[in-house]
Chains A and B, each alone.
Chain A
């Protein structure tokens, strides 16, 4: 199905957004992997340690952490540090509830591994209605 420029997602919600892709091979918890004052991934040894998530389109294979993540996205959004979209391979309801509450576009499940199609730094568009993510500009 792929033309090398897009992937399909299984479930999605939120607005159409465009932004810079940030692709992680490791799962994510906004509570334990992140400095919530700066938006930087702060846990030493994390696959994207040192990167800032603000305004990005994030790709993570899994969600980590418990219930507390639900408030964390809203707190980030209130400090203008929220990502534009979060795309998980597999997630749990907490991430979906948290993203919806914070007005962040969220998607789960992909037709093919996004790291095969996109690179960190590419500009991509996430369209929740069409359940599709397209590349707009290569890094």
Chain B
């Protein structure tokens, strides 16, 4: 492969992977069964698009099934959101290049719910931090954070260097988190992720949760992981008695002692919610996104919004993938959400929307209310003022137009 038997683009991809592997002291490659990559015009820029064009023209093709993460346009809403037609066109070119290489442009950040669930011990190369932490923690599959170019390289070569979470020794727990709080809403799980992640920002830290008193749902673990990854740059966690490499606490720590112990109480959660600045109290925008909503989350939202009407001064935006939007339409959830005044975007995530910073000023979206601790973290980069609330509170706020105290 290095000598160019599969073309120069593949050889170049492999050379880059060897360099990354050497940096981390990898001794070998592992074959990957599946690749999930981030590739859209907002993150790639003109330089990235040029690279993709050359790769497509060279004839290089994916060696394993490869899917894409959420992107920055829902083509059906680009006009309504005032997104630049020029960028829409470039995104179209980019998608054509990806498809020519053999990438399935699924445009979802919840591939682990909607598309593929690798099994215990299966090596994959996934991008989007939320997908990686879910694969490692909940499924017991093995992946590092593979950024766009690294995931594409893995797709072309069918392998990835064996470092980080591909190796047993890095999957052992390092922090003990004793959960004394009652985790009810999805936002509570994200809040715990923030409390742990903010204090221990470290890719190599692996928190071990104890005290979770009931089996969590996939959506709850999704919000916990997305928040840990966003606030703490973390790629793996264990929940004792729940996740596959943590049958017991000893199992999770693999014989090591925790480097520190954190306790999370109901009081910690209350303080966290109260800590968000609500500005003038007006709810300009309520967002359900980051990660995209599952079909169950869409169902819940539809029930909460049934017969309600959002305030005239409040926009309600929801993001999911194409498959779940179609299913929600079929099941009547979409009609309920839209009738209440909500907009359901497909194939995107709110914070990567092209022009998201402009939308804040143009639409007066200063206060952003959400049940996603990840979104509340990341959206600050675009100068929004985030407020984290439970799903039920978010819906009430969208209806009244006023941000209530938690």
Contact = CB atoms under 8 A, between A and B. Distances in A.
A77 B149 CA distance: 14
Contacts of A106: 23
B22 A101 contact: no
Nearest to A27: B201
B233 A63 contact: yes
**7 A-B pairs with the lowest CB-CB distances in the bound complex, closest first:** A70-B147, A78-B47, A75-B45, A32-B381, A92-B203, A97-B150, A75-B47
Chain A interface category by residue count: 35 or more
B44 interface: yes
A12 interface: yes
B38 A13 contact: no
A67 B147 contact: yes
Contact of A67 (B24, B128, B203): B128
Interface in B340-375: 352
Contacts of B230: 66
Contact of A97 (B46, B47, B146, B201): B146
B44 A75 contact: yes
Given A66-B128, A96-B20, A78 B145 contact: no
Chain A interface mostly = mixed
Nearest to B235: A92
A96 B23 contact: yes
A72 B46 CA distance: 10
A101 B149 contact: yes
Interface of B: 16, 19-20, 22-25, 38-39, 43-48, 50-51, 69, 127-129, 144-150, 163-164, 201-203, 229-230, 233, 235, 352, 378, 381
Given A43-B381, A77-B47, 10 more contacts: A67-B129, A68-B38, A71-B38, A71-B147, A72-B45, A91-B203, A92-B233, A97-B146, A98-B149, A100-B20
A11 to B, nearest CB: 5
Contacts of A29: 381
Contact of A93 (B38, B164, B381): B164
Nearest to A97: B150
Contact of B46 (A43, A67, A78, A100): A78
B43 A72 contact: yes
A79 B19 contact: no
